[in-house]
Structure 1
């Protein structure tokens, strides 16, 4: 009986998706995604999570299924899903300390947006829309990001890129 119930629930979930619904084309190779971003002129969206992260699963099941979020990511971003436990060096270089953490970066790896914790679709769209504009502003004129960027990261965003580049070039 429990197997039958599980089968029925699985079928209901699969059939409940709208016809023609698209999924995000996730990449799992940061280096290849950076190269693709440089070639296409798109920004990077890095989604750091873990298998045991409840809010990571909620983000995948809700926010990353929202049609507006899927469309925006497909049009403007190279989306990269990274396991925080497997990608320890990149996680450390970007100072990811909790999951989920969403990082928006330019094609050359400059971090321009960041959020730790769950985001609903409206909040995600706000982050996606705001981050590219932030990349075009001089660093000194960027408004404070009190809600989203922890103080320890805000002062060192510019300093992180050389560390990441060095770690990736060494093949870490």
Structure 2
């Protein structure tokens, strides 16, 4: 689903902001990836793997004081059916507001949790604002993961940085 209220060039934003983001994550933030709920501890690492493996990037934006974020991480992303749906089909990461404030601001994220499913070419496939139960999440994301990804040439940020979200 294309997102009309994100009128930015996603890849240009990622290319500019990610190298400048402090990658020092707090130990509390690393535990989610280590517990096996998310694949990566940083957006940078997840994005690189998404490009390398030609898989969509799934980012859940969160805040430490967000009750629904903890609920979505535990109940939705921790759900065995959702994990089965995502495993091997996406590169996933939880992005904390204090670690990625500039990226969150640039993307226009207004509340938490917010989840983005992004193709390796930088196209926003789905933007989910708020908490979703496992079944509703699977119904929105599952069909998108079943479709083949279109290829736009090399998986290099500079080759696709001019693509705009509609």
Aligned twin of 1:131? 144
CA–CA separation in structure 2 for the residues paired with 1:159 and 1:88: 22
- Greater relative contact order, per chain length (Cα 8 Å cut-off, separation 6+): 2
Aligned twin of 2:73? 60
| 1:78 aligned to which of 88, 91, 95 | 91
Deviation at 1:93, TM superposition (A): 1.9
**What is the CA RMSD across the aligned residues, in angstroms?**
2.3
Q: TM-score, normalised by structure 1?
A: 0.62
CA–CA separation in structure 2 for the residues paired with 1:117 and 1:128: 14
CA–CA separation in structure 2 for the residues paired with 1:81 and 1:26: 9
Question: CA 1:89–1:131 in 2, change beyond 3 Å: closer, same or farther?
Answer: farther
Aligned twin of 2:51? 38
Aligned twin of 1:104? 117
Question: CA 1:134–1:74 in 2, change beyond 3 Å: closer, same or farther?
Answer: closer
Listed as ranges, the gaps of 5+ residues in structure 2 are: 1-34, 151-162
| 2:126 aligned to which of 76, 94, 113 | 113
1:116-136: CA deviation from partner (whole Å, max 9, x where unpaired): 110001111122223344975
Question: CA 1:134–1:93 in 2, change beyond 3 Å: closer, same or farther?
Answer: farther
SS state at 1:128 partner? helix
Q: TM-score, normalised by structure 2?
A: 0.64
Deviation at 1:54, TM superposition (A): 0.5
Question: CA 1:55–1:134 in 2, change beyond 3 Å: closer, same or farther?
Answer: farther
Match status 1:92 vs 2:105: yes
Aligned twin of 1:9? none
Deviation at 1:25, TM superposition (A): 3.6
CA–CA separation in structure 2 for the residues paired with 1:85 and 1:130: 32
Larger radius of gyration: 1
Listed as ranges, the gaps of 5+ residues in structure 1 are: 1-21, 137-157, 161-172
